[in-house]
Amino acid sequence: MACTSAPHVQTPEPIPQYSALRAALVGYSLKIGVRGWSGFGWQIVLLLPPALLYFYVRDLSAGQEREAFENAASIVDLQKSLGLDWESTLQQQVLESDWLIAAMNWVYIYGHFPVIVGSLVLLFGLSRRNFITLRNALVISGAIGLVCFALYPVAPPRLFDPNVFFDSLGELSGSYRILQNPKVTNQFAAVPSFHVGWNVLVAVTVWRASHFRLLRIVAVTFPLLMMAAVVLTANHWMLDIVAGLSVAGIGILGAKGVERLANRFAPQSLAHPLATATATGLAVSASQTCLIKDCSS
């Protein structure tokens, strides 16, 4: 008894050999992104080297107090010439309201690393592509920031002139001394502001990944609140915000560039592993069916 010929399924071409650079780009930007939740731990491992590098740079800038204060003075002079020396005036307005300064402290502390980690977890489950974009953008912008910290240390307002600026976090928040202890953070890492820049990266990727209006509103609101918080808590200068936004922009563009290179270098069968597996399975299944039924053309 004859059976209907099985539909022709194109056999995937063998994967060619790629250089180490291409393999790294593909692996880092595509292959890791299609793993299940068990691969999330590997993502943490990938982020450990940048974290360790941060502590190394922190040690480099530990003895640069004089340079940090000189650079801060230069920023103050530049801001005055641009009409951007608003930090002291704005903070004085906030200090009159206990609940508002407490809110700004809360945003500065819990709107940074907790929001970034939470967003990475959210995007890993919601959109792997946007997770990869955020992860790579954090690494790229972080690398640029570390170079800035090492070569251009800057004292924040609260350290630059304690008689003018009030250290609201140090004086009023016990959580800050635990979560961002001065002993393990770089006190002269004011330029650029990662608090602002990385919140912008989160906003961009969460907006692209989600169609929920409330989630999008929250994603866009947090960077605006953080811009206010970094100034009103005397932790950053106005130009630090500009630098943070610039570094974030470079980070997101760099991340998209890495993805385009990875997609260009990756063979189709590697870029779409599920499609390849499905096609191969259909071909094998059709062949076995015809053999069992002894079919003829």
Q: Is the pLDDT of residue 74 over 80?
A: yes
| DSSP 8-class letter at 30 | I
State pLDDT tens for residues 233-262: 999 999 999 999 999 999 999 999 988 887
As a whole number of angstroms, the distance between CA 59 and CA 180 comes to 16
Report the alpha-carbon distance of residue 172 to residue 103 in Å, rounded. Answer: 11
Residue 174 has pLDDT above 60, yes or no: yes
Tell me the Ramachandran region of residue 83: left when phi exceeds 0, alpha when psi lies from -120 to 50, beta otherwise: left
Tell me what the mean pLDDT of segment 7-18 comes to.
47
pLDDT by residue (tens digit) across 180-201?
A: 555 667 788 889 999 999 999 9
pLDDT averaged over the chain?
78
For 144-169, what is each residue's pLDDT tens digit?
998 999 899 999 999 999 999 999 88
CB 30 within 8 A of CB 262: yes
With CA atoms as reference, report the closest residue to 12 among 290, 291, 273.
273
Contact at 8 Å (CB) between 83 and 146? no
| Amino acid (one-letter) located at 89 | T
The lowest-confidence range among 24-33, 66-75, 207-216, 221-230 is 24-33
Is the CB of residue 68 less than 8 Å from the CB of residue 155? Answer: yes
Rounded to two decimals, the pTM is: 0.76
Domain boundaries along the sequence of the chain: 20-266
Q: What DSSP character marks residue 6? A: P
